[in-house]
Structure 1
Amino acid sequence: MLPESIRNAIDVASNFVWGPWTMALLLGTGVFLTLRFRFVQVTRFGDGLRAMVPARASGAGALSPFQAFMTALGASIGTGNIAGVATAIVSGGPGALFWIWVYGFFATTIKFAEAVLGIKYRVAEGDRVSAGPMHYLKKGLGSPKLAWSYALIAGVAALTTTPFTQPNSMAVVLQSQFSIPPWVSGVVIAVLTWLVVIGGVKNIGRAAERLAPLKVGLYLVGGLIVILTHAAQLPAVLALVVREAFSFEAAGGGAAGVGMMVAMRYGIARGIYANEAGYGTAAVAYGTARTEAPVQQGLQAVMEVFIVSCVTSTISALVILTSGVWKSGLTSTAVVAEAFNTAMPTVGGWIVAFCAFLFGYTTLIGWAYYGEQFLEYAIGLRVTKPYRWIYCGLVVFGATGKVETIWAWGDLMNGLQVFPNLVGVIGLSGVAASVLRKPEQRQVEPAAPPA
């Protein structure tokens, strides 16, 4: 248990990093790229849907394009889509959902740029691939110091956030639904994570390819049942979301504009935590693909953000709001489980527990690879094996931590990661735009023929 003074310092630092300037930077970058890429998330949405189909693998890389897509999707759709969104609604009010949508729309172009630049500037030799913002910061912008700084910050963030936030949310719901002690959950999750992570990126890709579609489908079906059960509340809830997004008072009164700023702070912070646009992780995941079609991977990244922000995050928020449990005093995955239980007593909580486990597990194994890539760049290949063991060991501690402090630390570290990455994304946006306009990139690769 951390001392109160340290917990308070983490909260203060997190709130400082996620001040109005950060929100303005993220939204501003998304708007700028949307204009520069000529609304690619709208004009090429159909191509994005087709890009989701497994395509032929051609070129250097470690994973098939579909495996790279599933690894990125599996890593971004974590318990942040359940626990993070729930925390945003409970702490920021219903209006936070509106800002999750707003950021999600513009964030598609940030992730598009990250994926395209990840492919363009990666270092690939057969199955051995190194990709990420550190490469486009060094090779594209010509700034090796900024590249090293990003890699170190992002590596520390991966090592000290994901093994804490994901197991924590998984343990919360397993305790609330099955009375499993958090330390027991932590040990089991750590062992299961080790079984995949120790085998490297190919093991991670194969696991993500199987688990990511399962978890999205199951959560979508369960969430729709809850929403349909409370369908009569839906019009009022949607009106509340829009009204509270622009509220001039905080809950219970307060200074003008406070309510809106709180909703924006939690909506955008949890929005980026859910879809990861701005972190630079997309460059790592999509950069592993065996393809020479960067726009195809960019369009997959667009669809990834759409699925995260407009499907899974929306499901989480609406089940909490339509069922009314957002005022129950519960938080994290426990409040979502309670919402599912209002439509499917007992079974609903089990569904959330299983989904939270799958969400957290796929994120854990995906981020293990991200952190490995970052720290290998910053420190060298000698860090790989110790990193994998330490990463898995920290899972046990994450499962038993304090919910609010865990998420505040996650916000802090991920916020620090955003700044150097956006320097590269904005500085090289012209490169991504020129790749997008190339005639040979207008078509996505054909789907693989049946076996």
Structure 2
Amino acid sequence: MNIMEIVNVLNENLWNKVLIFLLLGTGIYYTIRLRFIQVRRFKDINAHVFGNVFKREEKADKDGMSSFQALATSIAAQVGTGNLAGVATAIASGGPGAIFWMWVSAFFGMGTIFGEAVLAQKYVEKIDGEVTGGPAYYLRKGLNSKLLAGFFAITIIIALGFVGNMVQSNSIAVALTSAFSIPNWVGGIIAAIFAGLIFAGGMSRIASFTELIVPFMAILYIVGSFLIIVLNYTQIIPAFKIIISSAFSAKAAVGGAIGVTVKEAVRYGIARGLFSNEAGMGSTPHAHAVAKVDHPAEQGLVAIFGVIFDTLVICTITALINITTGAYTLGLTGIEMTQKAFGIGLGNFGTIFVAISLFFFAFSTIIGWYYFGESNIKYLFGAKAIWPYRIIVLLFIVLGSILSVDAVWQIADLFNGLMVLPNVIGLLILSPQAISILRDYERNFLDSVK
């Protein structure tokens, strides 16, 4: 058995037999203990998010970034190529019913991500004068475990900062080649140059970039997608019917998913949903930790919106496009299925539209993942190691554009899975603190602002 075969076996067992239950179980636990906060405080979630959209006067600096900038940085990382390819893969492997279970994973993931955000807020600290935070910090200070904190920091730097960004740069190169016939290596260099300019500006420039690009790419994708869905409006209700029916009946699965079982629908839907919105993975808390808010629970509520937007909005839209156009019945999977769906819906322009969407989704993810890795570089080595880290990331971006990334994807998945383990341990042990923060917010802070 070679190294990649070992990696594949580890991934199979880690993601499909351990993490799927661990992450979903943690989400269910937090949801119950927080008394279904995603439902009870839905009005507050929207108030905090949309009330902060136009508050541009607060700029990011060494003391952190605005609540909306933190959310934008989080969403930049959450909404990536997985929203185009991952959804299609879930449908191809688990049938349309996988989308229902993706929704389920998102619902419970909202509880998990609230816990991550408020704990990150509580254990934030300053390194060389700049505020920073994330799981490594609450694992070390909250659990008093340097071992778990160090293990998490190392795995996330490899998973996202290095290997993960190779995959994203490859997606950018493929997108540019598909749309404009630009050689892959040129696309990689272009991505590295623009990324380097943003990295060099530190937290301030990253925050400014994400608060501009995330709304733009979201509107672009939603408008283009809605056009296809509206043109196929007669298939909208049947699409929802087949999603619901095939979630509980293997007989309802058709097309590329012929022969799938309900077990597979559950497995692929939950796994892809958790991988897409990153709830419990320990990535997004790095952004939420540095948000300038009056109470940690406020950013916890804002973090919930990230899951809503990623899975219930973007992933659902992608699923509806693939189902209403019939692309899911053609035996395709991954990005090929979604490209075909856009081609059916928009003709030749559909291919260009997918390429443009892929570019923005992948590039924004590079920025978000770089920042998450940087937070852990500072934890391990201090601010002096940031520039070497930036240079290495840029090299990986160029390298990723010219390599075959099938093996890289598998390695990225493995380290993604490994970084979940210490984070979930921390979330479960520190859950009383997260619950206490919410109770303090509801009992004291809400009364004081009424």
Q: TM-score, normalised by structure 2?
A: 0.90
2:30 aligned partner? 33
Please state how far the C-alpha of 1:113 moved relative to its aligned partner: 0.7
The structure 2 residue matched to 1:98, chosen from 89, 97, 100, is: 100
2:446 aligned partner? 442
Q: Deviations over 1:380-403 (max 9, x none)?
A: 433211111111111123233445
Q: Deviations over 1:210-257 (max 9, x none)?
A: 00011111111111111122222223322322333334589554xxxx
Answer yes or no: is the 8 Å Cα contact 1:196–1:204 preserved in 2.
yes
Q: Which moved more, 1:302-311 or 1:280-289?
A: 280-289
Please state how far the C-alpha of 1:102 moved relative to its aligned partner: 0.7
**Counterpart residue identity of residue 182, structure 2:** I
2:432 aligned partner? 430
> Distance between the aligned counterparts of 2:190 and 2:409, measured in 1?
22
Secondary structure of 2:237's aligned partner: helix
2:324 aligned partner? 322
Change (3 A) 1:373 1:423: same
Answer yes or no: is the 8 Å Cα contact 1:62–1:126 preserved in 2.
no
Q: Deviations over 1:297-331 (max 9, x none)?
A: 11110111101110001111111121122344544
> Distance between the aligned counterparts of 1:379 and 1:397, measured in 2?
25
1:280 aligned partner? 282
**Counterpart residue identity of residue 31, structure 2:** T
Q: Deviations over 1:68-93 (max 9, x none)?
A: 11111112112221122222223333
Change (3 A) 1:19 1:443: farther
> Distance between the aligned counterparts of 1:406 and 1:395, measured in 2?
12
The structure 2 residue matched to 1:19, chosen from 16, 20, 35, is: 16
Change (3 A) 1:227 1:32: same
Change (3 A) 1:168 1:335: farther
Q: Deviations over 1:179-222 (max 9, x none)?
A: 33322222211221111112211111010010001111111111
Q: Is 1:43 matched with 2:22?
A: no
The structure 2 residue matched to 1:177, chosen from 179, 189, 194, is: 179
Unaligned 5+ residue runs, structure 2?
Answer: none
1:305 aligned partner? 307
**Counterpart residue identity of residue 142, structure 1:** N
> Distance between the aligned counterparts of 2:177 and 2:30, measured in 1?
43
1:123 aligned partner? 125
> Distance between the aligned counterparts of 1:286 and 1:57, measured in 2?
16
Answer yes or no: is the 8 Å Cα contact 1:61–1:125 preserved in 2.
no
1:378 aligned partner? 380
Q: TM-score, normalised by structure 1?
A: 0.90
Matched ranges for 1:44-443 at <5 A: 44-52=41-49, 53-54=51-52, 61-124=63-126, 128-247=130-249, 251-253=257-259, 259-402=261-404, 404-438=406-440, 439-442=443-446
Please state how far the C-alpha of 1:27 moved relative to its aligned partner: 1.1
Secondary structure of 1:63's aligned partner: coil
> Distance between the aligned counterparts of 1:442 and 1:415, measured in 2?
37
1:449 aligned partner? none
Secondary structure of 1:124's aligned partner: strand
Answer yes or no: is the 8 Å Cα contact 1:83–1:169 preserved in 2.
no
Q: Which moved more, 1:282-291 or 1:43-52?
A: 282-291
Q: Which moved more, 1:70-79 or 1:57-66?
A: 57-66
Please state how far the C-alpha of 1:115 moved relative to its aligned partner: 0.7
1:9 aligned partner? 6
> Distance between the aligned counterparts of 1:387 and 1:99, measured in 2?
38
Q: Deviations over 1:333-389 (max 9, x none)?
A: 343232122222222222222222111111101110101111221244332111111
Change (3 A) 1:338 1:138: same
> Distance between the aligned counterparts of 1:9 and 1:318, measured in 2?
36
> Distance between the aligned counterparts of 2:6 and 2:89, measured in 1?
20
Change (3 A) 1:297 1:242: same
Give the percent of matched residue pairs that are identical in Structure 1 and Structure 2. 39
Secondary structure of 2:291's aligned partner: coil
Change (3 A) 1:387 1:443: farther
Change (3 A) 1:89 1:396: farther
Answer yes or no: is the 8 Å Cα contact 1:82–1:336 preserved in 2.
yes
Secondary structure of 1:317's aligned partner: helix
**Counterpart residue identity of residue 17, structure 1:** L
**Deviation beyond 6 Å, 4+ runs, structure 1:** 443-446
Change (3 A) 1:431 1:122: same
Change (3 A) 1:443 1:392: farther
Answer yes or no: is the 8 Å Cα contact 2:163–2:396 preserved in 1.
no
C-alpha RMSD of matched pairs (Å): 2.6
Change (3 A) 1:183 1:194: same
> Distance between the aligned counterparts of 1:445 and 1:388, measured in 2?
42
**Counterpart residue identity of residue 445, structure 2:** Q
Secondary structure of 1:90's aligned partner: helix
